[in-house]
Structure 1
Amino acid sequence: MKLISRTLLACYAAIVCFALSVELNAAETSRPNILFLLTDDQAPWALQASGHPHAVTPSMDSLVSEGAYLTNAFTVTPVCSPSRASLISGRYGSELGITDWIHPSREPNLGLPTDTTTWVQLLQKSGYHTGLVGKWHLGTPDSMHPTNFGYDSFMGFRTGGAPTKNPTLEIDGKNQKVEGLTTDILTDQALEFLSNAPSDKPFCLSLHFRAPHTRWLPVADEDWAPFAELDPTIPNPDYPNLNVPRVKQMTREYLASVAGVDRNVGRILQLLKDKKLEDNTVVIFSSDHGYNMGHNGIWHKGNGHWVLTKNPPATKNIPGGQRPNMYDNSIRVPTIIRWPGTIKPGSKVEQTVSNLDWFPTLLEMAGVELPADLNIHGKSIVPILQGKNVDWDNEFYAEYSTKHQSQTHMRMIRTPEWKLVRDFLNEGRDELYHLTDDPAEADNLIDSDSPQVKAIIKELDAKILAQMKSINDPVLASVPAS
């Protein structure tokens, strides 16, 4: 009788353990996979879905039609390293000591502080299988390796750049030259990660493309074909002294690079479909910052370059040919989210969001609780994606202290109607734009005699200073007391 009882108890215990195991596995597989596609230097205008007459982006456009298109998404710093630091940490670059792109030879020890908590770490600890393919640019020392910040695996390059073709990439911890186009090679690795991801846990893959960062060529023949003979429409051909032939040539090359990314995004979306993963995978597409292509007479990003036949004179801290800026074309980023069963296909999100919002958003998507003692900025946009009517603050603060090609301390506040940019290092570089009437930011009103405009400047200036104080911005030490 005792033997039977023990046998029954053992069987019961086994059944309970099996049931718990099934329940846990079911919970794991019900959590969404996350695929974060991040391009480098891509402007929102470089999408057919945004109305560009020449962009070839059917895969990106398909995500727009199947998900939500965030029309007012921004980065808090319009250059690579600090933008990526803010995305992964939920903090401003000035809080992390990263205020401009990291120069690997001049700044060999600079990178993401090793005690930084990232959303990748929290997803990893909660059971996600994590990986990064592509660009890191947050420090080259081994102590700042991506696998120390939550990624189970890494294949790509730790520095800021890689050639468009035949790159040297870190694979299994060793640098080796790989033959082929870099965009295709990185996608191949991402496809391998997705194909081999464990079936008993959700995955989170970050694919950081190198394109469409300059240099843009070479690209695959099929990506170049639509642009080889194109006479492209450009945004403001009548801008004084604009080098129109150069802008048109760069536009062709840039759009071809974007087309190469889009072709590879299509490969990834097809694999998700073939493996029946698309219904349980959140696909996020964004970029580290925007881009100018002749807009306001410049090309490049926040550390812009004039593209004129005759440049304005150099100043003490701004060399000839340079135009550091916080234009919308530099800070706005193309952002699309496909989340089957949650986001209504074809949705448009017009609320102002930033890359600081990814930290709480991704945790909520994954069902991971935000640690109470963690000091981050940003707010989860999940309720907006769910179509809920939520109260939302559409004011946006950004910062950029350039230190390589130029020396500046730009701080910015943007509302849906106004934008004020202050340069605390260079007198005479402050800017005010009435975005409602002047979305192209062509008319700087900073010296206006209008009492209304002066009141707006005073109000926005106070908001910039308050934000700087709230994050202990080191630039405050150089700001005269009012």
Structure 2
Amino acid sequence: MLRSLITLVALTFAFGATADEIPVPEPASKLSRATADSGNRQPFIHWPEQEAAASSKLAALEAQTGKKPNIVIFLVDDMGYGDPGAFGGGEMIGAATPEMDALAAEGIKLSSTYSQYTCTPTRAAMYTGRLPARTGLIRPILAGDTLKVNPWEGELTVAGLLSEAGYHSMLVGKWHIGEGEGMRPHDVGFDEFYGFYKAQKEYTQAYDQRRFPDLVLDEDKLARYQSIGSNNDLIYGLADGTTQTVETIVSIEQMAEGDRKLRDYTVKRIAELAEGDKPFYISHSFMKVHADNFPSKEFTGASASKFPYRDNMVEVDTYIGDIVQALEDAGELDNTFIFVTSDNGPQMDSWPDSGYTPFRGAKGTTWEGGVRVPGIAYWKGMIEPGRVSDGLFDLMDLFDTSLALGGVDTSSLPTDRYWDGIDQTSFLLAADGQSKREHVYNWLGSKLAAMRMREYKAHLLVSLAQEKFLYIDMAAVVPTGLAPWLFNLYVDPKEEYPVGHRMNAWTASLGAELKAHGATFVQFPPKDLGL
């Protein structure tokens, strides 16, 4: 089964078909509750009653407010599943997170939220509603990379679609999906951008002689490094092409204050946007807590731990509270859908400058520790407080859910490509709503590595660290052999011992589901960017 599946996925680079030639697929196995509405969309579980209830709820709110709801997504960089107190961390690990915990208590805590294995793929998936293996954005675009094509050419983003529907769309913070013209946030649908193109570490390493003495103290290497020409600025950009440098980062101390500046900007813009007649979509994407972590002056030593990562967790949590308060002060909180999450699991390679997960693996892997992240959905008066759900939620679902909230009909999206996200509005808004997602697919770059379906997780490829915590710098990726490594996550959430044929009746069904997913890449070939 494994060999035939890999062969099938490999064919995706050779064959293709138009959407008109693709019949609406039947469920791949008896295990699946999901059905497809079209041949180019991810099958989902239909819950007619909760969908009707959610639609009624939204219509009543719009009648009251006279406009569509605002959408604010908080994306923390490299925060582990176990970092927020609501997910087992907080005070227990020396970094209290009262603001995130309050949102979880007053909204819905999603205990099975999934990202991609690293940052760029997750961000691309969130904004496009498509797996990175389809768009080609399978890893960060690094300084010096030569791309075959602009990855954004022909892609649609949630920001652009909402902007066309009457929203003001804004990205504040980290982008990390291309810094060249045509690949910047304000080139691909965002009306406004205030932030940084790269990850935090990329701004500080040229100034950190304790961690990188062979770079900082060697004039020749430093000059060559700087000649790469990567952008080191805090940028302000508009969809009309305006691109301005707010400041150039030339010290660790500047970068340490980066998230404070981002917080200030979002707070200011919320007050201004609230005076207008447009709803807004804001992706507030923190630079922290990606290594290397340097606390701002205000938060140095603010955590019980006193370690930089934990101090920065306290800072991030505080800023989330500040922005939520800004929504309240502007009279917009009741009409704003809020989601808090992380772009992947903790980067354990930088330990102890890293987060916490109770699961196996970390960033860079498709073990639960790499792709299972905190998920909090909050909407005052619309999401019932105190809910906890283990229903599957992929961060790609924020694409479809945001479009649904904004009144964009996703059935009108192009049929020449495959759409992987699912509208989870009814799951979040209906009392005791159930997830509409049956499958989560985990890819390592261009390779299908694993799939979760219900409580089962089947691995085709696994990352095996050769030393403690080194899941990126010293790991081997190996196939699992004759059959997938199959885990029951309710019995074994740490994926320590496969159940396989010995204790599972659904092994063949899961294989059929994996093959069905692979077949969509034959029908809709992926882009090859040269990454």
Tell me the TM-score normalised to structure 1 length: 0.74
In structure 1, the partner of 2:367 is 327
Give matches, 1:109-258, under 5 Å.
112-161=151-200, 162-163=202-203, 168-172=233-237, 173-175=243-245, 176-177=247-248, 179=254, 181-197=257-273, 198-222=275-299, 224-228=301-305, 252-258=307-313
State the secondary structure of the residue aligned to 2:410: coil
1:436 to 490, 497, 506: 490
- TM-superposed CA distance for 1:60, in Å, is 0.9
User: Which residue number in structure 2 is paired with residue 263 of structure 1?
Assistant: 318
Give the conservation status (yes or no) of the 8 Å contact 1:36–1:205. yes
Give the greater-gyration-radius structure (CA): 1
1:84 to 120, 123, 133: 123
**Pairwise CA distance, 1:221:** 4.7
Secondary structure of the residue aligned to 1:412 is strand
Deviation, structure 1 residue 410: 4.3
Contact 2:455 2:489 in 1 (8 A): yes
Give yes or no for contact 1:70–1:348 (8 Å, CA) kept in 2.
Answer: yes
More deviation in 210-219 or 464-473? 464-473
Q: Residue 309 of structure 2 aligns to a residue in which SS?
A: helix
Instruction: Report matched runs for 1:31-42 at 5 Å.
Output: 31-42=68-79
Q: CA deviation at 1:57?
A: 0.7
Counterparts of 1:23-102 in structure 2, within 5 Å, are 29-52=66-89, 53-54=92-93, 55-75=95-115, 77-102=116-141
Q: Separation in 1 of the partners of 2:356 and 2:439?
A: 18
DSSP-derived class of the 1:376 partner? coil
1:439-478 equivalences under 5 Å are 439-444=493-498, 450-453=501-504, 456-472=506-522
List runs of 5+ in structure 1 lacking aligned partners. Answer: 1-24, 230-251, 307-321, 403-407, 476-482
Match of 1:436, SS state, is coil
Could you tell me whether the CA contact under 8 Å between 2:195 and 2:236 is conserved in 1? yes
Find the aligned partners of 1:116 and 1:362 in 2 and give their Cα distance. 17
Unaligned runs of 5+ in 2: 1-61, 208-231, 238-242, 463-476, 527-531
Write the letter of the residue equivalent to 2:153. T
User: 2-side partners of 1:301 and 1:110: how far apart?
Assistant: 37
After superposition, the C-alpha distances for 1:358-414 in whole angstroms (9 at most, x for unaligned) are 122111222232242434222211111222566645532323334xxxxx8342111
* Residues 351, 104 of structure 1: alpha-carbon distance in 2 compared, 3 angstrom cutoff: same
8 Å contact from structure 2 (residues 302, 314) kept in 1: no
The whole-number CA distance in structure 2 between the counterparts of 1:426 and 1:73 is 25
What is the alpha-carbon distance in structure 1 between the residues aligned to residue 203 and residue 315 of structure 2? 15
Query: 1:438 Cα shift?
Result: 1.3
Contact kept? 2:75, 2:283, Cα under 8 Å:
yes
Can you list the C-alpha shifts for 1:64-101, whole angstroms capped at 9, x where unaligned? 122222121112x2111111111111111111112223
> In the alignment, what sits opposite 1:366?
406
Structure 1 residues 373, 393: CA separation in 2 closer, same or farther (over 3 Å shift)? closer
Quick one: distance in 2 between partners of 1:299 and 1:150? 32
Residues 1:395 and 1:134: Cα distance change in structure 2 (over 3 Å): same
State the alpha-carbon separation in 2 of the partners of residues 110 and 189 from structure 1.
Answer: 33
- Cα deviations across residues 263-311 of structure 1 (Å, max 9, x unaligned)? 11122122222222212222221221222659xx997899x999xxxxx
Q: Is the 8 A contact 1:298 1:305 kept in 2?
A: no
Task: Look up the SS of the partner of 1:419 in the other structure.
Answer: strand
TM-score where L is the length of structure 2: 0.68
Change in Cα spacing, 1:216 to 1:73, as seen in structure 2 (3 Å) is: same
Shift of 1:108: 5.7
2:248 aligned partner, one-letter code = K
Change beyond 3 A, Cα 1:379–1:146: same
Moved beyond 6 Å, runs of 4+: 25-28, 164-167, 297-302
- Percent identity (aligned): 26
Native 8 Å contact 1:98 1:111 kept in 2: no
Aligned length: 403
Q: Offset of 1:426 from its aligned partner?
A: 3.7
Question: What whole-Å deviation, never above 9, does each CA across 1:183-218 have from its counterpart, x for those lacking one?
Answer: 111111212221222522111111111111111223
Report deviation, 1:323.
9.3
Q: Distance in 2 between matches of 1:265 and 1:119?
A: 22
Which string of whole-angstrom CA distances, capped at 9 and with x for unpartnered residues, describes residues 139-195 of structure 1?
122111212222111111223445479973113413322646111111112122212
Alpha-carbon RMSD: 3.5
Alpha carbons of 1:82 and 1:41: their partners in 2 closer, same or farther (altered >3 Å)? same
DSSP 3-state at the match of 1:72: strand
Question: Corresponding residue for 1:347?
Answer: 387
In 1: Cα distance, 2:129 partner to 2:96 partner: 32
* CA spacing shift, 1:417–1:279, aligned 2, 3 Å: closer
